[in-house]
Structure formats: structure tokens, C-alpha cells
Structure 1
Amino acid sequence: MSADTLSPVKAPALRRPAVLRHLGTPAALAAVLTLLYLWVSAQDLDSIERRTLNRTYIVDRVTEHLRLSFTAALLVVLIAVPAGILVTRPLLRRTTPIVLAVANTGQAIPAIGLLVLLTVRLDVGFRTAVIGLVAASVLPVLRNTITGIEQVDRGLVETARGMGMRPVEVLLLVELRLAVPVILAGLRTALVFAVGTATIATFVNAGGLGDMIVNGIKLQRMPVLVTGSVLACSVAFLLDWLGSVAEDLLKPKGL
């Protein structure tokens, strides 16, 4: 193993082909949102629709949605990555199936059912919604952390140890560094899943774009329903795009 392989991670600049490849998603989102704006502007909105389809209301709902999604994603990382590291250590490797089974339970339970159960115990609000999102989104990051570390060439690990690296250094500079692309792929999946699930946070009084979607359905206002749905999809695509950019920036050279 060369010294470059074990050097600290440096985020490489995106090469021109990668930059061009990553411009497609924001360009498409800009086009979709522009068409949505033009379509809504052409509608003869009544007083109920105008109370929803205005800048202040939309910005507040998008902010709530992003707050829910990012809070859940941060907690997922803080829970799933350390747990994934622990179960790949020799002493705890036998517990991997148990840990994955527990994480899979949160994703197997329908999200709305999980929120109902949490509401009975914790009451409604932001905290209840976040706990539900974390439980439903933790599996991809946990599974990818385990997979990413386990797929690292054991020869590289032994070489690092032979060079005098301590276990912590081997973990941080070799195993986790090479597992970063796989872990980030899991985080992208978890983020998109969290954004989609956050739309039902409205049922526990946690706000978000689900408010617009539900209002559009209950009041039979198509412009409100379409706007909420398109914005929720756009947020999901935007976060997935940011995740793909992060993967290119953080991926070790040569991979």
C-alpha cells in the first residue's frame, strides 16, 4: 500500500464531465418549478387557494419539510454509522443479524401506522414525527455502513496494521475512507425516503408540505394539491442530487 492510499481524505474538485453531468437535475427542477409557477399564475384562484398559494405559506411549509428531513437524516447518521462500525468489529460481528433485524422493523411497519403508535405514547408534534422518520430511514445507512466496511480488501487492512497504524487509524484512514461511497449511497436513499415520509407528518401536527397536499385533497383544490405534490417531489430530487455531488467530492481518488 502506498503512502497516498493512507493519507487523509481530501475532497477533489469535480472534473468538467462530472460538472456537466450534475447540471441536468437542477436544470430539470428549475424548468418544472417554472412551469408550475406559470400554471398556477394562470389559474383563477379563489380566496381559499390564495391563502395557501402565497410566498409566506409555501416558504414556511418547505422550511418545515426540510427541517424534518435534515433533522431525521442527522440523527440517522449519528445512530446508524457508529452502530454499523461496532457490528463489524470482531467482538460484535455475531450481532449483525440482530441489529439489522431491529432496524428492518422500523422500515417494515407502515409509516402512518408507526406515527399513530408513537402518537399514542408521545403525543403529536415535531419530536414524534422525527422519531418516526428516523425509525423508517435508519436501515439503508446501517446496512450500507456494514457492507461498505466489510467489502474493504482485508489485505489493505493488514498492510496498514503492518505499517504500525493503530486500530483507530486503520478504521478512519482505510476502512471508513474506502467505505464512504457506499455509506453516502445509503444516506441518499435515507434522505429521499425521509422526504417522502415527511409528507405524512401533517397527521401528527408537525407541518411540512403534507399540509398542502392534505388541504388540497380535503378542500378539493387541484392547484393546492398539485403544488404541494410537485414541491415535495422537487425537494426529494434536490436532496438526491446534492447527495450525488457529495459522493463525487468525497469519493477517494482511484475509485
Structure 2
Amino acid sequence: MGVVGKAFGWLADGANWSGESGVWHRLAEHLLVSGIALGVACVVALPVGLWLGHVGRGGALAVNLSNVGRAVPVFAVLALFMVSPLRSAGYLPTVVALVLFAVPPLLTNAYVGMREVDRSVVEAARGMGMSGGQLFWRVELPLARGLVMTGLRSGAVQVIATATIAAMVGQGGLGRIITAGFNTYNTPQVVAGALLVALLALLVEGLLVAADRLLPGRGRPAPR
């Protein structure tokens, strides 16, 4: 039996799913940290990106500044937090590091999505007497939704995958399964942990794609 087969065998063992070190507990930790980080990033990045795209000013500077987060090593930021007073703040250091990592794709896609709305459609809506708020909600946002959702999916997958490094500084999540496997030279456990992270990322992306397709008004202005 190969390593992958042994990894599935590890996953099939019910003993590995129970207790504080089990899969269910680690999965709950992973979802909690990832969900909070993604939620905070959405609250920070989406309003800024959408508004800047709507007014058409200051977007390039904001996008360039947010992209600095792509060049910042998340593990380095997390390690710095863990030697600061924040180390006793539970999952806060991990959440902050992941928020910095998730903001760039959310803000960039929101801004670009709004700016790529056909200007002739925008001008026609203005000619019909729409106010700025009506133009934003009924025309620009529905047409920009595709790129906004792409940014959300990208941010979600990146956060879920990157949250595994929290285990390297003693935090919880599915990464603890991987690090525990490394520490005990248990290669099947390492592979099993990696498979769980990959499957979780794929599942979340699939759910977001399905949600996007189920939402009304996809790709067209909302009716007046």
C-alpha cells in the first residue's frame, strides 16, 4: 500500500476523528479562524474597492497599497505577532495575518469589477434619471458581481490554505495534524492532513460558485 493509500487508511480510522487532537476539532478550529479572517477582510476591502470603483478616484493607489500584502510573508508576520504582546490574545495574531493576506484579491477585484462596467450602460442609466445610489445598486454592482465573487473565491481559498501555517506557532487548525505527522515521522498523517486542507478549500470554492449561480440578477442590472 502506497503513502496515499495509507493516508486514506489514517482518515478511515475513527480514533483519528475524536478528541481535542482529532479531525473534527481541528476542522472546527480551522473554519473558525478562516471564517473570521475572511469576514473581516470582506468588511474592510469590499466597501473600499466598490466605492472607489464607483467614484473612479484613488483606486490605483489603494490597489497598489493592498497588493503590498501579497509580498508580505504571512508566516513572518505571524511569527512577529507571537513574540509581541499579542501572543496571549488567542487566535488574534493568526486572524490579523490572514486578513492582511486576504485583502488584496478582494479589494482589487471589487475595484476592477466596478471600473469594467460598460460606461455606455452607466451613462444610459444616468440619462434615465438614476441617482448615484441607484446607479451603484441597480447597475454597477450587479454587473461587477462576477469579478467580485472571483475575488471572494480566491481570498477564501488562499485563507483556508494559508491558515495551516498557524500550527507552526502553536495555533490550532488542520495544520496541527500535518505538524504532528512531521514530528512523529508519520508520513501518511502528513498526507492525510494535506488532503483535508485541499478538500476543504475545494468544497468552500464549490459552495461559493453555487451560491453565485443561485443569487438573482447575475450579470445584469437589477430591475427598477
Hey, what does 2:72 align to over in structure 1? 109
Q: CA deviation at 1:101?
A: 2.3
Q: 1:179 aligns with which of 110, 135, 144?
A: 144
Distance 2:40 2:187 in 1: 35
Hey, what does 1:55 align to over in structure 2? 18
CA RMSD of aligned residues (A): 2.4
Hey, what does 1:83 align to over in structure 2? 48
Q: 1:123 aligns with which of 87, 93, 98?
A: 87
- TM norm structure 1: 0.76
Distance 1:36 1:169 in 2: 57
| CA deviation profile, 1:13-53 (whole Å, cap 9, x unmatched) | xxxxxxxxxxxxxxxxxxxxxx778522788xxxxxx5xx2
Hey, what does 2:202 align to over in structure 1? 237
- Is the 2:30–2:172 contact (alpha carbons within 8 Å) kept by the matching residues of 1? yes
- Fraction of identical pairs, as percent: 34
**Deviant stretches of 4+, over 4 Å:** 35-38
- Is the 2:113–2:145 contact (alpha carbons within 8 Å) kept by the matching residues of 1? yes
Residue 216 (1) aligns with residue 161 (2)? no
Hey, what does 1:9 align to over in structure 2? none
Hey, what does 2:159 align to over in structure 1? 194
Distance 2:153 2:175 in 1: 21
Q: Structure 1 regions of 5+ residues with no counterpart?
A: 1-34, 44-49
Residue type of the alignment partner of 2:68: T
- Is the 1:180–1:250 contact (alpha carbons within 8 Å) kept by the matching residues of 2? no
Q: CA deviation at 1:252?
A: 3.2
Distance 1:102 1:251 in 2: 33
Hey, what does 2:10 align to over in structure 1? 40
Distance 1:66 1:142 in 2: 22
Residue 100 (1) aligns with residue 53 (2)? no
Gap change, CA 1:42 and 1:147, over 3 Å in 2: closer
Gap change, CA 1:99 and 1:36, over 3 Å in 2: farther
Distance 2:182 2:41 in 1: 31
Hey, what does 2:128 align to over in structure 1? 163
Query: How many aligned positions are there?
Result: 212
| CA deviation profile, 1:208-231 (whole Å, cap 9, x unmatched) | 011110010011112321221111
Distance 1:236 1:38 in 2: 18
- Is the 2:7–2:191 contact (alpha carbons within 8 Å) kept by the matching residues of 1? no
Instruction: Name the stretch that deviates more: 107-116 or 184-193.
Output: 107-116
Q: 2:110 aligns with which of 132, 135, 145?
A: 145
Hey, what does 1:21 align to over in structure 2? none
SS of corresponding position for 1:88: helix
Q: Structure 2 regions of 5+ residues with no counterpart?
A: none
SS of corresponding position for 2:83: helix
- TM norm structure 2: 0.85
- Is the 1:180–1:251 contact (alpha carbons within 8 Å) kept by the matching residues of 2? no
Gap change, CA 1:241 and 1:179, over 3 Å in 2: same
- Is the 1:210–1:228 contact (alpha carbons within 8 Å) kept by the matching residues of 2? yes
Gap change, CA 1:242 and 1:156, over 3 Å in 2: same
